[in-house]
Amino acid sequence: MVREYPSHPIVGVAAIVLYKGKVLLVKRAKPPAKGLWSPPGGLPEAGEPLEAAVKREIREETGIEIDVKMPIAIVDVNLKDENGAVKYHYVIMEFLASPLDTKLSSSSDAIEAKWFDINDLGNVRITRSFKLLMENVVNPFLRGEFCNVRAIKNFRYRAVDGYCTLSIYPLNIMPSDKTSF
């Protein structure tokens, strides 16, 4: 599958894996987020259900098994090059999950996998989409508040080799949906 300059958006999955006040992140080995920390994830295979795909991707990127709790948001990442051509376009289903084990190992898609304190991400080089997702969806959910069900639409920022337009569509989850993280 062609990821650079695609003819249509590419569907992806990712999991925000939470454990005892920590979140699991991987340091990306490939563009467009090379060198940045983000939730582990990847692309579903043809015919593979999204929940099965996210479990497989987390296992491949981090070496752990997860319990998928619920879908939490849809993230639309559209990166255009300096000439305005679409260089990358991903539509990612984000899930909340908890680990079934916590011993990590990384793969070729990830330079490193690591647990980070949720309250100490300020100095970590995370992706812009993950930062917005944490601030507007995950953190309110963990505080037992209603999630910001308004979409973050067309947040535009300068990227390394062009411009990115980011939209996050939180799913309507309630604090009562919270399981033990």
Residues 125, 116: Cα–Cα separation, whole Å: 12
Question: Distance (Å, rounded) from C-alpha 79 to C-alpha 165?
Answer: 6
Catalytic pick among 48, 51, 60, 112 = 112
Cα dist. 160→94, 104, 106 in Å?
A: 24, 30, 25
Helix, strand or coil, per DSSP, at residue 174: coil
Tracing tokens 């998928």 back to the chain, one arrives at 68
Residue 145 appears among annotated catalytic residues: no
And the tokens for 157? 């920022």
- Alpha helix segments (H runs only) across 87-150: 128-133, 139-142
Q: Which residues are catalytic?
A: 112
